[in-house]
Structure 1
């Protein structure tokens, strides 16, 4: 393949008062030899989903895309199987009524049917509890709901005792090998529950929660020793004009409290060989990494003067989307390994990581607001590109092997709830 790769050294400097470091990176031009991705299947639009909250889960070993939608005037969570058939639907009225059987493919019209403005839900999160694939979310009135991905049945619900609508987290909070679920309310309550719904802890922070909680795992240093204190639930709150980040332990007690330099637009957690970090994408275009062990700032690096969005990590790098650009930043020292530019002046959503090519291996994939898709190899070179047609896209990519070829296809959920699967 004839690749056009442009390398240029770029030094990002900022005044010492800002704490922004110096970085060198290679600028990687769009590769004209990248293959064109083709749409292999797509669904019709659905009401109530803008695409930002959809997830991929597993049903009987096969992938399903789970969305929070509306049907018959009420909120419904539904799963779409490969090819576009609806596998199950679970209306919130059934959950509220204690119907543990969940949905069976019917749209359902519960007591809320015909309502003009059905209760909202948070974005969804997929994970595993006790070896089974689940999907979790919170409702605006203040419930945490966990559904079995196999059939949409209700695994458990928890009253959060406060307004919900914030995406929960699933992860191993106490290092026992199993996962817990953590949820936060808008007014500052944090609740962690075990895989059966029993309360692990609940606490009140006294300040509004700014974004989804993160369950962060224990990393290790270069010698392989575990960082025992680098585990817990990270929560961001807003008091006045400042954002405060706290790490809560398995008892709900704060290990540390920190005020980041950036005002975070997004965040994510990642492990490194020197312990885990929390990566924050700032509204000022800077990326900051906070040490999970003690809340100190590992580094801050300027990427552009417009807001940036933190995506997924791979190979010791965090991938970040901004306006018309994607970056790979080394998690250890903040060095910008490469920058890929595409999409004119369009904002790029949070990049994901998937294996869309057996030859290239695992690599980042970016989707911009206009639905342009760009798959990259670990060096930042484009290997495939495509688009979903005339559409607005707010979400990053999802991944699933929908063709059975052993590699991932890229799934994009558009503003109108349409699911589009692209294959190179």
Structure 2
């Protein structure tokens, strides 16, 4: 029997938690019908972070993979062009000293002296790539408490802004006030939330007076082509205390529109557009997925997926894709029903699934990479269309996508824990 059409009616129970959905879904197996993807190029390992903070930035039609690395005892942000050549390097200490502010010095030497107390190079957050002020930028925060935006074309600093507290939380980019221009929002771990415009000038600054331990999220659906009303806009901020988790939505002035306590403690979260309007999707440490209405913070649905933490990934119209131990789920964003569950890689943890078109059919679907580097591309029905692996590797990041072969279509990029970048093509 073709395992891709092997449907088993399974009841997904929620462990007795109040308000947790019960879903009837289809299990979809992996069989030999999937195309085997091969590694077409890869870079050498580089020291630095674990690969989970890397992003792809588009610069005048070309793609670069931007990642945090170290060299000569210094934290360096590095861009690698398709094929493996280094496009630019920017030392973080030079930005902190103001040497690169507004200048094209991104190809500076990898030296400097920014260190932590134990002698390691000072850390930075995961990166985010976006268009700000009409230009491609890469933004991040430093552990010491700066929000930095680099020009993705040459690594020169657009701005560096003091967050007035330690950070290392990935920032967020979106049209916060609906004027058609993107803003950048960042948070310090001690509770300061700051939003700035394309020049780095403050839009608002708010001190919540509580510890912030999740990245802020700008809710901006109209500008991103969503199907909802695009309202409300705001910055969602989560705080995880000893007794409870709190989620706030701050408006364009930094004032709290609402404050609520979700049913789950989020390991990961994302903002999504749904058939019923914008929402937050929270991947719980207890294995449950919950959605929260962005209009007022009220809970919509909660569904139990497994007894281990789950990671929310990308959404496609009406669905969100979630990774867990050995599984990928497609969950309906209206009612929380699990449309299908795909298992692969045994019990190895699956990183956040992403959505892209990576086959000749140009059909968009989820692509997943697990911690062992096993790659699985699926169609909208959860059927495997391509599979491959990154070799002997540990991978903590979801897949990235870029045209790595010059054929006009995207390939899957994997960034490993030792800093290698691999491109897989089917």
Residues 215-254 of structure 1 aligned to structure 2 (within 5 Å): 215-218=218-221, 226=229, 228=231, 230-254=232-256
Alignment partner of 2:364: what SS? strand
User: Which residue of the partner structure matches residue 373 of structure 1?
Assistant: 375
1: CA distance, partners of 2:230 / 2:397: 33
Q: Residues 273 and 113 (structure 1 numbering): CA distance in 2 closer, same or farther, change over 3 Å? A: closer
Q: How many residues align?
A: 419
Q: Residues 262 and 96 (structure 1 numbering): CA distance in 2 closer, same or farther, change over 3 Å? A: same
Show CA shifts across 1:127-182 (max 9, x none).
Answer: 11022110000011100000000000000110000001111001111111111000
**Which of these residues, 200, 209, 212, is aligned with residue 215 of structure 2?**
212
Show CA shifts across 1:180-199 (max 9, x none).
Answer: 00000011110000111110
User: Which residue of the partner structure matches residue 391 of structure 2?
Assistant: 389
User: Which residue of the partner structure matches residue 49 of structure 2?
Assistant: 49
Show CA shifts across 1:238-285 (max 9, x none).
Answer: 233211000000000111111111111110111123211110011111
Q: What's the RMSD between the two structures over aligned residues?
A: 1.8
Residues 178-189 of structure 1 aligned to structure 2 (within 5 Å): 178-189=181-192
Residues 251-262 of structure 1 aligned to structure 2 (within 5 Å): 251-262=253-264
Residues 15-164 of structure 1 aligned to structure 2 (within 5 Å): 18-98=18-98, 99-100=100-101, 101-112=103-114, 116-164=119-167
After TM superposition, give the deviation of residue 84 of structure 1 in Å: 0.3
CA contact (8 A) 2:68 2:77 kept: yes
After TM superposition, give the deviation of residue 335 of structure 1 in Å: 1.0
CA contact (8 A) 1:9 1:26 kept: yes
1: CA distance, partners of 2:156 / 2:114: 19
After TM superposition, give the deviation of residue 416 of structure 1 in Å: 0.4
1: CA distance, partners of 2:396 / 2:230: 36
1: CA distance, partners of 2:160 / 2:108: 22
CA contact (8 A) 1:354 1:364 kept: yes
| Long gaps (5+) in structure 2 | none
1: CA distance, partners of 2:206 / 2:356: 36
- Tell me the TM-score normalized by structure 2: 0.95
**Which of these residues, 329, 332, 336, is aligned with residue 330 of structure 1?**
332
2: CA distance, partners of 1:106 / 1:15: 55
Alignment partner of 2:414: what SS? strand
| Long gaps (5+) in structure 1 | none
After TM superposition, give the deviation of residue 77 of structure 1 in Å: 0.4
Is 1:355 aligned to residue 357 of structure 2?
yes
Show CA shifts across 1:343-376 (max 9, x none).
Answer: 0110000101111013151110000000000000
Q: Residues 15 and 353 (structure 1 numbering): CA distance in 2 closer, same or farther, change over 3 Å? A: closer
Alignment partner of 1:80: what SS? strand
2: CA distance, partners of 1:225 / 1:415: 37
Moved more, 399-408 or 71-80: 399-408
